[in-house]
Structure 1
Amino acid sequence: MSKFPLAGITVADFTWIGAGSYTTKILADFGADVIKIESTERIDTLRDAKPFQGGIRGLNRSGYFADRNSSKRSVTLNLKSEEGRKLAREIIAKSDVVANNFTPGTMEKFGLGYEAVREFKKDLVYISMSMHGQTGPESKYLGYGLTMGAVTGLHHLCGRPELDPAGTGTNFPDHVPNPAHSAFAILAALRHRRRTGVGQFIDVAQIEPTIALLGPAVLNYTANGVVAGRVGNQHITAAPHGVYPTRGEDRWIAISAPTEAAWSALTKVLEHPALGQDARFRTSVGRWEHREALDALLSTITAGHDAEPLAMQLQHSGVAAAPVHDAADVLRDPQLQARGHWVYLEHPEMGRTVYNALPFRMSRTPGYPNRPAPLLGEHTDEVLKSMLGLKPNEIEALRSQGALQ
């Protein structure tokens, strides 16, 4: 662990569900000691989220929770009790970072808001990741990835133009923009602290990193007054660009040929006379203007091919193409396996389980999941002994008082 770039950094992690947990997973996989503060009375709802290992429901059996909480330690505290809050303050006093993604005011109710804890931990980096941030008329609104996608305009852009907004199929803000921006902010604040000795408060409004995904749509309106709409799989300026059926049940291929060179290569691989002879498709402008007819023709051609070999043949010819993979395909993808993306760890209850590695490789200071996701409260005694110096009889007394639950 000493070789990991964040070794020596301790995080008091009050986050739960998606974006917050993924943010602190990044830190944990890079070697930070992330102590997840949980409660048996108010369970992280991700612990009760499918899929469950072996199809057996349990608070320690969620694959979703496991992947978002690799490399962490779990401590259960009753923050409604004074003793539980006292222990939380003691853990914070020994930490470098505090993270939460609650609605503004929640941490303050427990006496654990930034202004309260900085009184005894001046150099603390404290990040709050609420939906709308700490200020503004909607700061107290409750939000999840679904509502963030809606209010930022992301859902308005997702789906087919003739149908209702489809969303992203998952809470996309939880998985990419918010954890990535938040982890970056924490690292920047830690660097500032190293240089100056001064900590700071980081206020992340999760709608704002999500809006960063929508640059072209925002610019199209500010520059041209045009409100962008849904285009499905099509490209706004080029064709062909879409997903087409292939041989087999629910098997598809994605193809994008926006340039003349790519179009020429595509026609040679598919060897269908209409692609080269139809006057509508001779120019890039014509292909885009008649993209619906082109997509219909391509669909009839690709339906007679297998997705994997066709994609490989197109790639070798200079055409961007890929089979549409399902989860089973992704797990056995040779490229991901060659890069060591999938990490298998032995979980105390689920056994050998798979985790996502960090989505980049650092040559000198690598990071990767270094322990499986924790059982609920698995490390309570360990943390109280090693971090706070409590004796076994003191821990049992706290447990009997209801402080450790």
Structure 2
Amino acid sequence: MTVTALPLDGVRVVDFTWLGAGPYTTRTLADHGAEVIRIESAKRTDRLRVLPPFAGGRREGSVNRSGYFADRNSNKLGVTINLKDPAGVDLVLRLIATADVVASNFTPGTLQSLGLGYEQARAVKPDIIFLEMGMQGATGPDASVVGYGQTVSALTGLYHLSGLPGRVPVGTGTNYPDHVPAPAHSAFAVLVALRHHRRTGEGQYIDLSQAETMVSLLGPAVLDCSVNGRDNGPRGNRADYAAPQGVYPAAGEDRWIAISVLDDAQWTSLTAELDVPELADAYPAAADRHAAHDEIDAALAKRTAAADPFELAARLQARGVPAAAVNTFGDLIESDPQLAHRGHFAVLDHPEMGPSVYNAPPYRLRGVDGGDVGAIMRTPAPLLGQHTRDVCSRVLGLDDATIDELAGRGVLG
């Protein structure tokens, strides 16, 4: 199947986002053809550029070796412009005049104070789509409160629900709001606005609250509290709909297997596979298994501890029992057959980091990319300011002498 065009070919995005949620939003657009132009500052770099992991384990004073930054910013162009200089602001406004979308996850009001807010953008491009994704939206008593993924997790009650009963709240292993609810909702909102623009010619101001995107995914807990007056709090691996359910030790260093039993038939299959008929006889019903969960977990752990987690998971799956070995990241990249089949991991040759592994989008668009990840994963993350001259020349029409003069004055930087 021949690739003709990606879905967002011809869409230009001026991207002010940084750190996690914003760049993942605009990467989603870039992956499917949008020309995303990152606006950065050489004096105040994106903090994600200096967060690990670093290629080869070495930062070496560079702002271009962060794997975290790289994975969030593939397929983008990078320019450096001094937004504290009126000439720099003028350049960006000229760039916005050619664009379809502006995206920012700064604290609401930041861009406006620089002369680059929605009204200023709308003055040069009346039909602009302008996304602001503040932590709690652009209005309200807490709109100006600064926060990050961990803050959103705490604020929205996610940390209240994660962890073990009777223990201090713990995180989800990563800043979940930055990687799932905020970028997914933001990208969806931009796509809706683009479709609206195509039908009506009208632009849109999108005021997105990252906190509300997280709350929207906690529906069962919210309903249970509001309707039933029940606040379960953290439950670890336990769930009302499954028993037993947990992560159990397996053979090998730090190896584990996750098992979930949703009905009596699965319980019968699990106990048969592990050769523990006494458990099947002692706890035949779900209510029995919920009541004796701790005892069952201890008994199961004794049986799983000597088993290869991958082999046991395969045998349980063959019997209809939901189970999976707990993969390390090495397992995912090097030996997961399903991810390998789908070509999920792409290798892009970064100018400083060399060949580096990137996550491809988790979906394929048949008839557009033909399942070819290479059609989606086109270019590695940009070096700081890598495309400044190209964008100034190709998009803004500046000649070399003007570009050199602006660079010499510190406007481009």
Q: Which residue of 2 aligns with 1:42?
A: 44
Q: Which residue of 2 aligns with 1:93?
A: 97
Q: Which residue of 2 aligns with 1:262?
A: 266
Q: Which residue of 2 aligns with 1:15?
A: 17
Report the AA paired with residue 295 of structure 2. Answer: A
Out of 335, 338, 342, which is 1:335 matched to?
A: 338
CA shift, 1:291, in A, is: 0.7
d(CA) in 2 for partners of 1:402 and 1:2?
41
Q: Which residue of 1 aligns with 2:372?
A: none
The 10-residue stretch of structure 1 (97-106 or 231-240) with the greater mean CA deviation from structure 2: 231-240
Q: How does 1:206-221 map to 2 (within 5 A)?
A: 206-221=210-225
Q: Which residue of 1 aligns with 2:287?
A: 285
Percent same amino acid among aligned pairs?
A: 52
Q: Which residue of 2 aligns with 1:193?
A: 197
Q: Which stretches of structure 1, 4 residues or longer, exceed 4 Å deviation after superposition?
A: none
Q: Which residue of 1 aligns with 2:377?
A: 369
Note the alpha carbon deviations across 1:95-148, whole angstroms, 9 max, x for none: 100000000110011100001110110110000011010111000000100000
d(CA) in 2 for partners of 1:347 and 1:145?
27
Out of 349, 356, 368, which is 1:353 matched to?
A: 356
Q: Which residue of 2 aligns with 1:308?
A: 310
| 1:396 matched to 2:404 | yes
CA shift, 1:238, in A, is: 2.4
Structure 1: runs of 5 or more not aligned? none
Q: Which residue of 1 aligns with 2:6?
A: 4
Note the alpha carbon deviations across 1:166-215, whole angstroms, 9 max, x for none: 12121100000110000000000000001001001000100011012211
Q: Secondary structure at the match of 1:119?
A: helix
Q: How does 1:43-192 map to 2 (within 5 A)?
A: 43-57=45-59, 58-192=62-196
Report the AA paired with residue 139 of structure 2. Answer: T
Q: Which residue of 1 aligns with 2:328?
A: 326
TM-score (norm 1): 0.98
TM-score (norm 2): 0.96
| 1:296 matched to 2:304 | no
Q: Secondary structure at the match of 2:221?
A: helix
CA shift, 1:228, in A, is: 2.2
The 10-residue stretch of structure 1 (162-171 or 66-75) with the greater mean CA deviation from structure 2: 162-171
Report the AA paired with residue 246 of structure 1. Answer: A
Call closer, same or farther: CA 1:368–1:47 in 2, change over 3 Å.
Answer: same
Note the alpha carbon deviations across 1:61-100, whole angstroms, 9 max, x for none: 1100000000000000000001111111111111100000
d(CA) in 2 for partners of 1:196 and 1:167?
43
CA shift, 1:2, in A, is: 5.6
Q: Secondary structure at the match of 1:188?
A: helix
The 10-residue stretch of structure 1 (71-80 or 329-338) with the greater mean CA deviation from structure 2: 329-338
Structure 2: runs of 5 or more not aligned? 370-374
CA shift, 1:271, in A, is: 1.0
d(CA) in 2 for partners of 1:200 and 1:52?
38
Report the AA paired with residue 44 of structure 1. Answer: D
Contact 1:237 1:288 in 2 (8 A): no
Report the AA paired with residue 363 of structure 1. Answer: R
Report the AA paired with residue 393 of structure 2. Answer: K
Contact 1:156 1:167 in 2 (8 A): no
Report the AA paired with residue 330 of structure 1. Answer: L
Contact 2:246 2:258 in 1 (8 A): yes
Contact 2:264 2:284 in 1 (8 A): no
